[in-house]
Amino acid sequence: MFISETQIRVRYAETDQMGYVYYGNYPAYYEVGRTEALRQLGTSYHNLENKGIMMPVIDLNIKYLKPAKYDDLLTIKTIIKEIPKMRMHFFYEVYNSDNILLNQGETTLVFISMERNRPVACPKWLKEIFEKSFNLY
């Protein structure tokens, strides 16, 4: 298992008329979480794309528990529970600065060859990064 944490401050534009984070913004927070998780592992989406792999989201689940508000400092915990094969599953927990769990989510991404526009297995070099990181825990 690999766990990454990153923080993001809620901007005014991300809130609705009630002052709460608009529900549609959470997937963008998840994207920040998984982008930073990959970076913490030692790679990036940019690196994947340069090597001919794209990773579109094919499934998204969200559970709203409590609202986040303007100017809250949120911690996005991104959890990767298993070494990816054809798909990669990310789990998210969003906390406020009082460490209250506000939101939970999950995304599934698939590895796609940019050359063939077809699903492929997780690249060997990426799988090795995960194996090294998972051995740290």
Strands (E), the chain: 2-9, 53-54, 57-64, 73-80, 87-95, 101-110, 112-113, 118-119
> Given this model, what pLDDT does residue 132 score?
87
> Given this model, what pLDDT does residue 134 score?
82
Question: Which positions of the chain have pLDDT values less than 70?
Answer: 135-137
Residues 6+ apart with CB under 8 A from 59: 106, 107, 108
Tens of pLDDT, residue by residue over 39-50, are: 999 999 999 999
> From the candidates 16, 59, 71, 98, which is the catalytic residue?
16
Domains of the chain: 2-134 (3.10.129.10)
To the query of whether residue 71 is one of the catalytic residues in this protein, the response is no
